[in-house]
């Protein structure tokens, strides 16, 4: 017997129709999966408009009629029609039944023909379970891409930091953190890029030194808590309501942006989260005057 063909072996001959997500399989690949070759299928399709055989009857029962079936040779075979063809050659074709077609049917028995085609293309991952049907999930890279696109669109019209370059860098850091949260298994791979972005947000052309509220408090002789309270009273920052992990507790106001910078830093001791920190230029010390007394 010839080699058994798996769905993954014909992945290059499967396309996904964008309009409705239907998987389209070439007649050559369908012939290999059926174990009969494409010429046998062409004979069925060619006569679909003028005569009804068992296969064309089965296709019609699933909503695939003569004129449409006759175009399968050129246009490819929709996934549901492929399922009918494989079942025909597995169980209904009499002496023309093939072990290959039966094996192909077994491949999509639990998941369905379309999900099997998607899995062959790498668009979903198959998760086996000890009992019950298998489950399908988006691959890690696809989940990350989806999450990134949602966040990218949400932040498209927003600006951060003190310059367009810094805003782009901060947005990039946010997108990396989004991918990390969506797929924790990618965290180690993303860490070098996160560290690089963090470094780009710690130096400014005019203000090299950026200070945390704790460092400001040491300069002023007060606590970091009082520094944050005074920054709010001076209209330089506002509280960030219910910040997500990695987000700062305070955000700069429009006035505060002239004295502050949102920097990035990676977590410690295995924490892969990228944290945003609101830091302040030394110039902000001039605004405190006697209010810190």
Max CA-CA distance within the chain? 98
Q: Which residue blocks in 183-239 are alpha helix, DSSP H? A: 187-200, 213-220, 224-233
Helix 187-200 vs helix 164-182: angle between axes, to the nearest 10 degrees?
A: 160
pLDDT in tens, 34-69: 999 899 999 888 866 666 788 989 999 999 988 888
Residue 205 in this model has a pLDDT that exceeds 50 = no
Alpha-carbon distance 51 to 57, whole Å?
A: 10
Four-residue CA torsion sign, 181, 182, 187, 189: negative
Q: What average pLDDT score do residues 74-95 get?
A: 94
Q: What average pLDDT score do residues 210-224 get?
A: 89
Q: What average pLDDT score do residues 7-12 get?
A: 89
Work out the percent of the chain whose per-residue pLDDT is above 90: 30
> Which of 178-187, 202-211, 230-239 has the weakest average pLDDT?
202-211
**pLDDT of res. 49:** 64
Are residues 231 and 256 in contact, defined by beta-carbon separation less than 8 angstroms?
yes
Q: Which of 109-118, 143-152, 198-207 has the highest mean pLDDT?
A: 109-118
Residue 136 in this model has a pLDDT that exceeds 70 = no
Q: What average pLDDT score do residues 220-249 get?
A: 90
Q: Of all helices (H) and strands (E), which one includes residue 119?
A: helix 113-121
Residue 280 in this model has a pLDDT that exceeds 70 = yes
**pLDDT of res. 227:** 93
* Coil, helix or strand at residue 20: coil
Work out the percent of the chain whose per-residue pLDDT is above 70: 79
pLDDT in tens, 148-165: 777 778 777 777 766 677
> Which of 35-49, 107-121, 138-152 has the weakest average pLDDT?
138-152
Q: What average pLDDT score do residues 179-201 get?
A: 69
pTM for the whole thing? 0.48
């Amino acid at each position: 017997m010839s080699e058994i063909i798996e769905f993954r072996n014909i992945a290059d001959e499967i396309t996904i129709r964008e309009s409705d997500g239907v998987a389209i399989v070439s007649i050559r690949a369908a012939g290999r999966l059926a174990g009969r070759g494409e010429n046998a299928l062409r004979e069925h399709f060619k006569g679909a408009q003028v005569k009804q055989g068992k296969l064309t009857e089965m296709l019609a029962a699933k909503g695939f009629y003569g004129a449409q079936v006759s175009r399968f040779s050129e246009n490819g075979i929709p996934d549901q029609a492929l399922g009918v063809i494989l079942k025909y050659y597995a169980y209904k074709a009499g002496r023309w039944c093939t072990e290959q077609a039966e094996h192909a049917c077994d491949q999509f028995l639990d998941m369905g023909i379309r999900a099997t085609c998607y899995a062959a293309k790498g668009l979903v991952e198959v998760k086996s379970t000890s009992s019950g049907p298998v489950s399908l999930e988006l691959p890690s890279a696809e989940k990350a891409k989806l999450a990134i696109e949602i966040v990218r669109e949400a932040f498209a019209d927003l600006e951060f930091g003190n310059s367009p370059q810094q805003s782009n860098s901060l947005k990039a850091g946010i997108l990396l953190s989004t991918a990390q949260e969506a797929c924790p298994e990618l965290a180690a791979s993303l860490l070098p890029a996160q560290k690089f972005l963090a470094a780009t947000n710690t130096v400014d052309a005019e203000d090299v030194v950026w200070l945390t509220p704790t460092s400001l408090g040491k300069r002023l002789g007060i606590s970091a808590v009082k520094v944050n309270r005074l920054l709010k009273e001076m209209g330089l920052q506002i509280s960030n309501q219910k910040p997500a992990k990695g987000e700062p507790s305070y955000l700069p106001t429009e006035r505060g942006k002239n004295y502050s910078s949102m920097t990035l830093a990676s977590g410690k001791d295995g924490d892969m989260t990228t944290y945003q920190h609101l830091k302040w230029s030394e110039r902000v010390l001039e605004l405190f005057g006697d209010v810190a007394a």
